[in-house]
Amino acid sequence: MTTKTVLITGAGIGIGRATAIAFGRLGAHVLVTDVLTTQGEAVAEEIRAAGGSANFHALDVTSTEAVEAVFSLAEAEHGGIDTVIANAGIARRVPIDRMTDDLWDRTIDVDLKGVMRVFRRAVPGMRARGAGSLVALSSIMGIAYGWDEHIHYSAAKSGVVGLVRAFAVELASQGIRVNGIAPGYIRTAQLLSEEHSLGAVGAEEAPAFIPMGRLGEPEDIADVILFLASTAARYITGQVIVVDGGLLVGRY
């Protein structure tokens, strides 16, 4: 692991939290960012309590000004950011007959444009150092499945795939690698939401059609993120890795 400083969006809960703790355990300074202030501060404190180094910064990825402020502060305090994990995202159940422009725009703004904002801001520093790793979170709902009553989410996560590929091609010659991860069913607050996702009952039923026989855990995704950020993945760019326990290849 060559990452000295990593910035993670949506790091207060779920996959972001697990990823922050994993980087902290390996000795990276972790910039924990989220709109969830209490949860984000708790993650940073957990990393420090375990002997690691971390700070929390409130960050709404829909604000270009807020992204600029957090990056500028981080660069001033730490000299640069080696790895950026664009994890912040929302999923809201909205049938097509209730899909307003505002509801559509909100999901695209967080789940797709938010990725672009943090990647765009990370590039100048990485380009100057001739190295860097960018990792974005897509979803199996963005690469293989349509998700009924979540067309804005599926569209945004599909967009992340295209964004990863385009960033990767443009930045490869400058020493910057760009990759993505498409998680399957992962045990997070989002998945367990009765209103917007599978809910508790659906989560109990899901392992029956997952070849590995269980839901994924946030740590299952965090470990793949660590790999993509490491020198072990030095010749990998422009890829979106599915991490789903065999779900996609097992459904036929």
From 153, 185, 235, 252, the catalytic residue: 153
State in words which class domain 5-247 has.
Answer: alpha beta
- Residue pLDDT, tens place only, 60-88: 999 999 999 999 999 999 999 999 999 99
What is the Cα–Cα distance from 178 to 166, expressed in whole angstroms? 9
Q: Which residues of 204-221 are buried (b: 16+ CB within 10 A; e: fewer)?
A: eebeeebeeeebbebbbb
**Separation of CA 143 from chain center:** 15
Lowest-confidence pick of 8-17, 47-56, 202-211: 202-211
CA–CA separation, 216 and 205 (whole Å): 13
* Distance between CA atoms of residues 228 and 116, nearest Å: 19
Enumerate the domain spans of the chain.
Answer: 5-247
Question: HSE of 219 in the Cβ direction (CA atoms, 13 Å)?
Answer: 3
Over 70: is that where the pLDDT of 46 sits? Answer: yes
- Identify the bridge partners of residue 56 per DSSP, sorted by sequence position: 32
Respond yes or no: is residue 153 known to be catalytic. yes
Residues facing 241 on adjacent strands: 181
Residue 33 contacts residue 11 (beta carbons within 8 Å): yes
pLDDT above 90: percentage of residues in the chain? 85
Quote the percentage of the chain above a pLDDT of 70: 96
The string of pLDDT tens digits covering residues 16-30 is 999 999 999 999 999
Q: Which is nearest to 242 in space by CA: 143, 134, 112?
A: 143
Query: Which of 165, 179, 78, 89 is CA-nearest to residue 134?
Result: 179
Contact 241, 179 (CB under 8 A): yes
To the nearest whole number, what is the mean pLDDT of the chain? 94
